[in-house]
């Protein structure tokens, strides 16, 4: 028999290392033709930091996206970044990049001011030019600026570093620990169908919403939600490297036994939306959110199973074996 | 300002990905490159009486063999700093690396491993963290099987007075929840290519997620200043936390420094799944005091985390979990004890959601069970207790840019669920 | 002992000396420097090594190299047109965000192309089935299916 059920959950995730103290750096330099290089130490593991960091920098400098590269190829080139973990790169490296861009912007203004014969504070950067705010026709293209600066013996480089706060330890008695760079929030509604003869669960529908502070790149945000959901489904239903935990017997050693989701496991409907409640310290208000999209669905799925068949599976993953055992136990109790 | 922020812009390296031109570590092939394989402990726990790699070194096609003796600097890494690059013994988990060989191809390297003389005395391991916590359990590590925090044998979180909270509660609701052992299973398995470059520096192609985090560890292992190591990476075929730990770079680097030839060390999927760091198992025990009106007035939680054999990130995750496991709820009285236990298993480390996915998996089931017991709608119980702006969390951090209520409202709306008016009009900005 | 293997690779005749135990994946990646097929498991479970053999998507890691003697092998390197343009599938994957870490992407593209070469108007279910042997741990399935649908001109829905 196939039974359907609905379950809900909500979740949170902090950005940054526990206790803080995790800095990142960025360096942006102006080339002789007015294009830019961003040097940064963050590793892209697929989340897309190379893209969003350029988006942040290009907006600050008023340049097209194509005018700036991202370079993180090795530790000779890329300055320090604590690492790509803890949903921290958008927040920490994003802030470092904004600081570097603003530092460079100030230097560009100082140089251009001398060229244009005005005070730096009368200048603005937009549309790949530097121009006088109240007389916009008086401008220098970024190309002309690059040429004039570099061939004039100037090296215009912006640097920025960001640390959310110094590293903090827990208070030994109370556990007081206040170092949290940002908190992002999420909620999930899951609809499942449970086959009471085989114990298999089909996730029919996942509806999720996340408050990300500011969606720097909605395409990448959606990728995290849809992608994280596939990981959430297998966390909820199939992933167990030691199926007879704590015993080591039958430990999975291949991807046939350690069951991950495929396209065939996609819910028929995957709906998601973003909320933007900006964080005062986040880059353009953004909060770190990459990890949490795998965390929202599992408890919603197990709650939906309960709604469907009236048993609480309280051990993850809710494998067919566990579901059938729970159904059997429920029958015997009656 | 331009306005690229907020736009759905395709990724910078997307063209490389779809063309198959993005370079991952295993795509790197250097002239004269040798292939490495490692000798792993066949037992879960044991003492090494003899280790002789010289028969392997003498084999035709073998360029070198290394053990703990060959580590130029510190034979230790990990956040806890207690895991050896090569174990000189005692062995703490099956699969622990003891030695490595480099040869003209992987088949020859595997044959060379068979030539290594290893005399290892097996001892009784302990796998169950609850057994490991008992008096007289086999010792996983000399400091004891339970991590000692600055607060004692548990990470303590104490807010308010839980006993007073339980007394005023109308319902006491208990629940125990567990998480199994998870593997990151990135599609790109761990790999490393190490060589001495033209500036006489050690160069390593890595899939590390954290170039500088690991550069510091490697600097200590190799006894080299940071600028004498060129750590090459930045683009990884999936991490999810698996590449927050060293698995290949340190081993490949020790070999390259010894034989001064380029070496590649890559894990098979079998090694990846069995022996790399895992998301270790958890047990969560909840006891909640809840009022008829749905307010949670007391929450007591005990967490037990199986950290495996070394402290890769064991106490760290117990700490991180303790900060947020009470959930995004304004609960006045909270008591948490987080326990980090060591067992004879591959070390537990960070995997997507690190401690938070685990806490959420438990406390959200607990919330739904509370709703069931007290006869309240599961949305309502969340809205009532949800953090508002400026609320204090369990470890007394201030909630900034609160958005739980708004996220729930949006999810309900997208799901076509008509929330009651009083929930629809709630806001994170006011109680 | 090595044997001579001769086959068509991405429209060119290749001749190479191989051991009987070498897989097509070994030969492509390590002898012929064709890097788009990836090594993910060597046991046929993950699909990142998927290539086209006489038009069929197969696991290069499970294919003994010598068995492709005289056959036609295509990898993602053959997708780019003679005037350097991305194949519509490649462009669609890129534009729809159907690639994150990129490691499974070549195998996915092969499975998708194999489908479209046989069925130019697949249903959504057809597409899901065609790529269901390729694991994407980043979880791009939704975007991948969307991208293939876009190339197929929307496709027809099942049922």
Topology given in CATH for the domain delimited by B155-180+278-398: Aldehyde Oxidoreductase; domain 4 (3.30.365)
Among B23, B26, B184, select the one facing C39 at the smallest CB separation: B26
| End-of-domain residue from the set C50, C78, C106 | C78
Q: What letters, b where the CB count within 10 A reaches 16 and e where it falls short, cover B324-336?
A: bbbbbbbbbbbbb
CA distance B226 to B203: 11
pLDDT of residue C155: 42
Q: Do A226 and C142 touch (CB under 8 A)?
A: yes
Q: Which residue of C has its CA nearest to B31?
A: C30
Secondary structure (DSSP) of B365-420: HHHHHHHHHHT--HHHHHHHHB--TT-B-TTSPBP-S--HHHHHHHHHHHTT----
Q: Which residue of A has its CA nearest to B228?
A: A76
The model's confidence at residue B117, banded by pLDDT at 50, 70 and 90, is very high
Number of folded domains in chain C? 2
CA distance B272 to C4: 34
Note the CATH number of domain A2-14+181-333: 3.30.365.10
Name the E strands within B80-165.
Answer: 97-103, 117-122, 155-159
**Inside any domain, residue C83:** no
Residue C87 makes CB contacts below 8 A (sequence gap 6+) with: C79, C80, C81, C109, C113
Is the per-residue pLDDT at A333 higher than 90?
no
Chain A: partners with 3+ C-beta pairs within 8 Å: B, C
Provide, as residue numbers in chain C, all residues whose Cβ is less than 8 Å from the Cβ of B243: none
Q: Is A291 a catalytic residue?
A: yes
Provide, as residue numbers in chain B, all residues whose Cβ is less than 8 Å from the Cβ of A44: 13, 234-236
Residue A260 touches chain C, beta carbons under 8 Å: yes
CA angle A288, A291, A292 (to 5 degrees): 85
Rounded to a whole number, what is the distance in Å from the CA of A218 to chain C's nearest CA?
Answer: 10
Is the per-residue pLDDT at B369 higher than 50?
yes
Rounded to a whole number, what is the distance in Å from the CA of B320 to chain A's nearest CA?
Answer: 6
**Inside any domain, residue C33:** yes
Q: How many CB atoms neighbour CB B198 within 10 A?
A: 7
CA distance A303 to A314: 10
pLDDT of residue B2: 61
Q: For residues A203 and A267, is the Cβ–Cβ distance under 8 A?
A: yes
Q: Which residue of A has its CA nearest to C139?
A: A227
**Alpha-carbon distances, residue A151 vs A44, A113, A146, A154, B148 (angstroms):** 34, 17, 8, 7, 61
pLDDT of residue C26: 97
CA distance B243 to B277: 9
Q: Same domain, yes or no, for C68 and C94?
A: no
Q: Same domain, yes or no, for C93 and C74?
A: no
The model's confidence at residue C153, banded by pLDDT at 50, 70 and 90, is confident
Architecture of the CATH domain A20-162:
2-Layer Sandwich (3.30)
Q: For residues B20 and C106, is the Cβ–Cβ distance under 8 A?
A: yes
Residue A226 touches chain C, beta carbons under 8 Å: yes
Residue C57 touches chain B, beta carbons under 8 Å: no
Is the per-residue pLDDT at A331 higher than 50?
yes
Topology given in CATH for the domain delimited by B25-123+184-275: Aldehyde Oxidoreductase; domain 3 (3.90.1170)
Please tell me what DSSP assigns to residue A191.
Answer: E
Q: Do C102 and A46 touch (CB under 8 A)?
A: yes
CA distance A129 to A63: 8
Provide, as residue numbers in chain C, all residues whose Cβ is less than 8 Å from the Cβ of B189: 39-41
Provide, as residue numbers in chain B, all residues whose Cβ is less than 8 Å from the Cβ of C43: 269
CA distance B139 to A148: 69
Q: Same domain, yes or no, for C15 and C60?
A: yes
Q: Do B428 and A277 touch (CB under 8 A)?
A: yes
Q: Do C138 and A226 touch (CB under 8 A)?
A: no
Query: pLDDT for A55-111, tens place per residue?
Result: 999 999 999 999 999 999 999 999 999 999 999 999 999 999 999 999 999 999 999
Alpha helix (H) ranges present in chain C?
24-26, 88-95, 105-118, 124-130, 141-151
Residue B33 makes CB contacts below 8 A (sequence gap 6+) with: B193, B195, B261, B262, B263, B264
Provide, as residue numbers in chain A, all residues whose Cβ is less than 8 Å from the Cβ of C144: 263
**Closest CA relative to residue C116, chosen from C92, C141, C140:** C92
The total number of residues written for chain B in this structure: 431
**Inside any domain, residue C159:** no
Rounded to a whole number, what is the distance in Å from the CA of C107 to chain B's nearest CA?
Answer: 10
Query: pLDDT for A163-218, tens place per residue?
Result: 999 999 999 999 999 999 999 999 999 999 999 999 999 999 999 999 999 999 99
Query: pLDDT for C57-73, tens place per residue?
Result: 999 999 999 999 999 99
Is the per-residue pLDDT at B52 higher than 60?
yes
**pLDDT over 90 percentage in chain C:** 96
SS3 content of chain A, % helix, strand, coil (to 5): 35, 25, 40
**Inside any domain, residue C158:** no
Q: Indicate which CATH number applies to the domain containing C128.
A: 1.10.150.120
What are the extents of the domains in chain A?
Answer: 2-14+181-333, 20-162
Rounded to a whole number, what is the distance in Å from the CA of B209 to chain A's nearest CA?
Answer: 5
**Closest CA relative to residue B320, chosen from A173, A179, C58, C99:** A179
Tell me which residue range forms the domain holding C147. 88-151
Is the per-residue pLDDT at C30 higher than 70?
yes
What are the extents of the domains in chain B?
Answer: 25-123+184-275, 155-180+278-398
Segment C127-150 mean pLDDT: 98
CA distance A253 to A256: 9
Query: pLDDT for B68-92, tens place per residue?
Result: 999 999 999 999 999 999 999 999 9
Is the per-residue pLDDT at B1 higher than 80?
no
Task: Say which of A60, A66, A173, A291 is annotated catalytic.
Answer: A291
Segment B121-147 mean pLDDT: 97
pLDDT of residue C112: 98
**Inside any domain, residue C55:** yes
Among C35, C45, C93, select the one facing B18 at the smallest CB separation: C93
Count H helices, E strands: chain B?
A: 13, 14
**pLDDT over 90 percentage in chain B:** 99
Segment B366-394 mean pLDDT: 98
Average pLDDT of chain A to the nearest whole number: 97
Q: Do A255 and C46 touch (CB under 8 A)?
A: yes
Q: Same domain, yes or no, for C97 and C66?
A: no
Query: pLDDT for C102-129, tens place per residue?
Result: 999 999 999 999 999 999 999 999 999 9
Segment B253-270 mean pLDDT: 98
Q: Is-same-fold flag (B25-123+184-275; B155-180+278-398)?
A: no
Query: pLDDT for A31-54, tens place per residue?
Result: 999 999 999 999 999 999 999 999
Q: Indicate which CATH number applies to the domain containing C66.
A: 3.10.20.30
Q: Same domain, yes or no, for C56 and C28?
A: yes
Is the per-residue pLDDT at B122 higher than 80?
yes
Provide, as residue numbers in chain B, all residues whose Cβ is less than 8 Å from the Cβ of A291: 352-354, 356-357
Q: Same domain, yes or no, for C71 and C101?
A: no
Average pLDDT of chain B to the nearest whole number: 97
**pLDDT over 70 percentage in chain B:** 100
Is the per-residue pLDDT at C157 higher than 80?
no
Rounded to a whole number, what is the distance in Å from the CA of A120 to chain B's nearest CA?
Answer: 17
Query: pLDDT for B320-349, tens place per residue?
Result: 999 999 999 999 999 999 999 999 999 999
Segment B303-317 mean pLDDT: 97
């Amino acid at each position: 028999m196939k039974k359907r059920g609905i379950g809900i959950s909500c979740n949170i995730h902090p950005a940054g290392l526990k206790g803080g103290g995790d800095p990142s750096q960025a360096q942006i330099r102006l080339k002789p033709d007015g294009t830019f290089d961003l040097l940064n130490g963050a590793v892209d593991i697929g989340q897309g930091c190379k893209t969003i960091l350029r988006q942040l920098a290009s907006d600050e400098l008023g340049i097209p996206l194509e005018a700036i590269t991202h370079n993180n190829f090795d530790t000779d080139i890329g300055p320090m970044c604590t690492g790509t973990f803890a949903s921290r790169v958008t927040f920490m490296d994003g802030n470092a990049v904004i600081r570097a861009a603003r530092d460079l912007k100030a230097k560009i203004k100082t140089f251009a001011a001398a060229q244009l014969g005005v005070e730096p504070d009368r200048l603005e950067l937009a549309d790949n030019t530097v121009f006088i705010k109240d007389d916009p026709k008086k401008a220098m293209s970024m190309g002309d600026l690059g040429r004039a600066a570099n061939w004039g013996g100037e090296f215009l480089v912006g640097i920025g570093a960001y640390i959310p706060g110094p590293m903090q330890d827990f208070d030994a008695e109370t556990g007081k620990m206040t170092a949290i760079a940002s908190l992002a929030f999420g909620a999930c509604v899951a609809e499942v169908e449970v086959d009471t003869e085989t114990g298999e669960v089909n996730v029919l529908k996942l509806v999720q919403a996340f408050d990300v502070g500011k969606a720097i790149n909605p395409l990448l945000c959606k990728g995290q939600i849809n992608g994280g959901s596939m990981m959430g489904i297998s966390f909820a239903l199939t992933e167990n490297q030691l199926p007879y935990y704590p015993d080591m017997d039958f430990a999975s050693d291949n991807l046939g036994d350690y069951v991950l989701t495929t396209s065939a496991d996609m819910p028929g409907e995957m709906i998601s939306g973003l909320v933007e409640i900006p964080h005062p310290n986040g880059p353009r208000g953004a909060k770190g959110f990459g990890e949490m999209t795998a965390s929202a669905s599992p408890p919603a799925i197990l709650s939906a199973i309960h709604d469907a068949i009236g048993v609480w599976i309280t051990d993850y993953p809710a494998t067919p074996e566990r579901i059938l055992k729970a159904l059997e136990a429920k029958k015997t109790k009656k | 300002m331009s306005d690229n922020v907020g736009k759905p812009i395709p990724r910078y390296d997307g063209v490389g990905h779809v063309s198959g031109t993005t370079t991952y570590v295993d795509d790197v092939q250097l002239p004269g490159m040798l292939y490495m394989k490692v000798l792993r402990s066949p037992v879960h726990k044991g003492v090494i009486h003899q280790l002789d790699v010289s028969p392997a070194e003498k084999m035709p096609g073998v360029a070198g063999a290394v053990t703990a003796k060959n580590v130029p600097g510190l034979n230790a890494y990990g956040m806890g700093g207690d895991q050896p690059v090569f174990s000189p013994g005692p062995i703490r988990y099956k699969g622990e690396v003891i030695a490595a060989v480099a040869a003209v191809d992987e088949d020859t390297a595997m044959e060379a491993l068979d030539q290594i003389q290893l005399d290892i005395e097996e001892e009784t391991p302990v796998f169950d963290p609850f057994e490991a916590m008992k008096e007289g359990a086999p010792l996983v590590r000399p400091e004891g099987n339970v991590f000692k925090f600055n607060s004692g044998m548990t990470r303590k979180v104490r807010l308010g007075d839980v006993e007073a909270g339980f007394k005023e509660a109308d319902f006491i609701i208990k629940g125990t929840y567990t998480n199994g052992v998870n593997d990151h299973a990135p599609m790109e398995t761990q790999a490393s290519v190490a060589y001495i470059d033209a500036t006489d520096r050690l160069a390593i192609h890595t899939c590390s997620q954290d170039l500088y985090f690991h550069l510091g560890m490697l600097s200590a292992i190799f006894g080299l200043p940071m600028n004498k190591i060129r750590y090459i990476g930045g683009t990884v075929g999936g991490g999810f936390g698996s590449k927050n730990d060293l698995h290949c770079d340190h081993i490949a680097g020790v070999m390259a420094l010894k034989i001064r030839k380029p070496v590649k060390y890559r894990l098979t999927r079998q090694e990846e799944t069995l022996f790399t760091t895992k998301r270790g198992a958890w047990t969560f025990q909840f006891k909640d005091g809840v009022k008829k009106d749905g307010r949670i007035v007391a929450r007591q939680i005990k967490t037990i985390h199986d950290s495996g054999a070394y402290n890769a990130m064991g106490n760290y995750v117990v700490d991180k979990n303790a900060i947020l496991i009470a959930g995004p709820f304004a609960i006045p009285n909270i008591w948490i004890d987080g326990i980090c236990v060591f067992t004879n298993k591959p070390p537990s480390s960070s995997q997507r959601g690190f401690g938070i996915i685990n806490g959420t998996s438990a406390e959200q089931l607990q919330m739904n069970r509370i709703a069931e017991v007290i006869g309240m709608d599961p949305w309502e119980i969340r809205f009532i207790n949800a953090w508002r702006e400026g609320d204090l969390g369990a470890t007394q951090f201030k909630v900034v840019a609160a958005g739980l209520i708004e996220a729930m409202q949006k999810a309900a709306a997208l799901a076509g669920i008509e929330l009651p008016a009083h929930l629809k009009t709630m806001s994170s900005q006011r109680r | 002992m090595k044997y001579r293997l001769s086959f068509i690779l991405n429209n060119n005749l290749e001749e190479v000396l191989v051991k009987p135990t070498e897989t097509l994946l070994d030969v492509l990646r390590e002898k012929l420097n064709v890097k788009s097929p990836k090594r993910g498991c060597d046991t046929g479970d993950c699909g990142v090594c998927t290539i086209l053999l006489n038009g069929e998507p197969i696991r290069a890691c499970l294919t003994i190299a010598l068995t492709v003697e005289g056959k036609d092998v295509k990898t993602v390197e053959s997708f780019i047109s003679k005037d350097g343009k991305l194949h519509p599938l490649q462009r669609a994957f890129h534009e729809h965000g159907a690639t994150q870490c990129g490691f499974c992407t070549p195998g996915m593209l092969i499975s998708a192309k194999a489908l479209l070469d046989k069925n130019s108007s697949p249903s959504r279910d057809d597409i899901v089935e065609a790529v269901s042997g390729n694991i994407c741990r980043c979880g791009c399935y939704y975007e991948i299916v969307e991208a293939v649908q876009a190339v197929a001109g929307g496709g027809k829905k099942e049922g």
